[in-house]
Amino acid sequence: MKIIQISDSHIGHWTDATSGIDVRRNFEFILKKIESEKPSFIIHSGDICFDIPEISIYKWVKEKLDSIQIHYSLIAGNHDDTSMICQIFDQKHQNKECYFDKIIQNKKLLFLDTANGDMSDAQYDWLTDQLSQSEIRAIFLHHPPIKMGVPFMDQNYSFKSMEKFCSIIEQYSKPIQIFCGHYHNARSVTRKNMQVHICPSTFYELNDFSDNFGMSSDRIGYRIIEIDDQNNVKTTLKYFNGFTNPLIA
């Protein structure tokens, strides 16, 4: 099974000042590349909207995703609105959160909602129950649930309940892969039985070695996740040059 993960597209209106990046052209370009990969499934791990969530942006994204005719799911990021996502993409929410499981080619995946930087007690209970009942090989959420060694993001925009999350995962008896976005960069970090991977953005890359906010490049990319019949997980990355908006005199 091949899954493609994309993240942090930050789609805005044509008039939005998206740091000089042509976010819509980037998104369309990435979808064409993904289409050629012929994956089983696409997962967008949040921050679909540029800054403020808007119905019109979600509708545009849905039109583009539907056009390539590959099954997909989305989870919310901190720049998203879970209720809007559920409305446009026909997903169900529970008390303003949207978390769910999905079986793809006989493999069960979990999708969490960390749009507010944390998870409710009900969502934690659901996660605990899922891990106790099923063999889970991968979990998707927007925020990395551990520090990833990216100073600016770790210090300012990290997940709020890291130790609570990790205590639940560490009770699971098998290795588990966790796929996230949020950091506009790619990195993999192991803690006990979990390996946490962050996905490149389709917007731009953030500087991953500085205490200060900074864009390091306009490179964009996606993560390829392959799970074989023995439930072994392999993940690789693909990068491309992004598109910038033309300068206006």
Whether the CB-CB separation of 58 and 49 falls below 8 Å is answered with: yes
Question: Each residue of 201-226: pLDDT tens digit?
Answer: 999 999 988 889 888 999 999 999 99
CATH level 3 topology of 2-241? Purple Acid Phosphatase; chain A, domain 2 (3.60.21)
pTM (2 decimals)? Answer: 0.96
Domain positions in the chain: 2-241
Beta strands, E only, 57-202: 72-74, 100-104, 107-111, 136-140, 176-180, 187-191, 194-198
SS3 call for 5: strand
Question: Each residue of 87-142: pLDDT tens digit?
Answer: 999 998 888 999 999 999 999 999 999 999 999 999 999 999 999 998 888 999 99
Q: What is the side-by-side strand order in the sheet with 194-198? A: 100-104, 107-111, 136-140, 176-180, 194-198, 187-191
